Chain A
């Protein structure tokens, strides 16, 4: 093939490449959009998706909170009345960020945010300590009493290995 014809071929191919590039971008955006929509569908079809259980309000009355309420509990997050919290306990005695929790194989690890007061099963939690809660444990934040209820089947989830914390852990 002579040089000239090859050059013509290359010049014609330019448009093909541009077209292919545009196709790649277009399909990628379409994939992202469809993925987003599917994710939303999954989340709405499984309202409990992402949550490992609930915190059942046993005591504690306020404008937005009353006994028998169930607060959904995700795998990891913040507990408090502030807007950035994963579990919002809307009660005046609860701090904006009251506690941090993380679910692991051996239960729900809970520790106060700064120097907030917590009670587990009636016993006050010493400062700097972390509590490990299992299903049915009672947690008291200020004037609110919550009971941990894990979904059946959550117990089978494997997660991190338990980390030895500098402070003592209290089994509930």
Chain B
């Protein structure tokens, strides 16, 4: 019988990614005036890591090959761009990527093997709220947002990213096939609390992301279009209200520079204008890796890294990166649609929607389709906690995919078992089929 694992060759895809990483890092390494041994090392290590994780690892741990390859590609692009601008950042990102792969492994096994979600979820709720409140107490302001804790040896740590993971699990658990608002209430209150804390930290972008994902998960699990629509309307109304409240001055600033950044070209609009100029400068094919002036774009390593990609690699490549994100989302959604149990389906769906909304919001902000929000690009942006948590989300997706594979194999086993039983016990007397069937069932019941 044909195996259920998708054996279609992923080889060319992986080869392209490996080649890309190797060539770019080699180019960086041989940049005059001297040979950069660190880059050379990376030029070997990164493609090797990619090959191991996409070809070797799935043989031992159940993992989805396409997801692995695409995340490798995106993280690779991020590492390479960061390395070409500031080598220390690139190196740190690479190390965190390796760490993230480990976290992904943990995520896979976590989702694949844990059965009793209930106690875990009840534990996670207070832990998440606590983690979210931490920056308010000991955190530092980052632009207008207070969501980072600076730890001396660890670097910057963003608790909201860890909470993201826990929130996914909690929401998936409480929303899965439970009838009635009463059962869902703990999850809804949890989301409300998270949003409240995020608003206190003035991290509006992340709050929007969480809210939309939770709303989508609610709609999927209950099918109650009316309430979901009300939720959307409520979000829009509160956005308008926030625009007019005096405390939220920076919201007004953001909307103003979205409408016409050229008015404040040297002030608040500087960021988006530099990003647009970078995108325009790249043209179709880019200015070239290492050429161009990526450093003048403010926040080039976090929010505007997409502008840097368009400047150095060009629009064709930039569009390819966005399409890779879309392919990732497509795979995540297809995993969610195939899951057998509502918990896994919701988990996969929530993870994918979260990534999708995050990607859309940040790219939309960079190309001035929507106002900037301060979210970063998953996988590509510089940021340890963000990278690790996004990789863990992918790990959850791997886990759900692994469950589906296991279920499908069980189906085959069942079918073969039935046939076996049938053949084994009753390999003669074809006219007695009906009767024998009944006997078969009674034997099983006993």
Contact = CB atoms under 8 A, between A and B. Distances in A.
Name, among A24, A36, A134, A154, the residue most crowded by chain B CB atoms within 10 Å (CB to CB). Answer: A24
Contact of A136 (B31, B288, B441): B441
Given A13-B289, A24-B320, A75-B341, A6 B32 contact: yes
A152 B219 CA distance: 36
B224 interface: no
Given A11-B288, A76-B341, A18 B13 contact: no
Interface stretch (A45-53, A88-96, A118-126, A138-146): A45-53
B8 interface: yes
Interface in B289-327: 289-291, 313-314, 316-317, 320-321, 323-324, 327
Contacts of B1: 45
Interface in B402-420: 407-408, 410-415, 417-418
A3 B32 contact: yes
B226 interface: no
Interface in A1-18: 1-3, 6-7, 9-11, 13-18
A32 B32 contact: no
B412 A46 contact: yes
A34 interface: yes
A49 to B, nearest CB: 4
Interface in A50-93: 50, 74-76, 84
A74 B342 CA distance: 12
A151 B420 CA distance: 13
A7 B31 CA distance: 9
A7 B32 CA distance: 10
B353 to A, nearest CB: 18
Contacts of B30: 1, 6
A25 to B, nearest CB: 5
Interface size range of chain A in the complex: 35 or more
Contact of A27 (B12, B118, B340): B12
A74 B413 contact: no
A21 B316 contact: yes
B288 A10 contact: yes
A13 B288 contact: yes
Nearest to A114: B179
A38 interface: yes
A135 interface: yes
Interface string A15-43: 11110111111011111101110110110
A46 B24 contact: no
A45 to B, nearest CB: 7
Contact of B115 (A38, A46, A161): A161
B285 interface: yes
A57 to B, nearest CB: 15
**Shortest Cβ-Cβ A-B pairs, 9 listed:** A21-B320, A153-B417, A27-B13, A10-B288, A153-B414, A34-B8, A49-B411, A28-B327, A18-B316
Interface of A: 1-3, 6-7, 9-11, 13-18, 20-25, 27-32, 34-36, 38-39, 41-42, 45-46, 48-50, 74-76, 84, 100, 102, 111, 113-114, 134-136, 149-155, 157, 160-161, 163
13 contacts: A1-B32, A6-B32, A10-B289, A17-B20, A22-B320, A39-B338, A41-B2, A46-B411, A46-B415, A49-B411, A76-B340, A152-B421, A154-B414
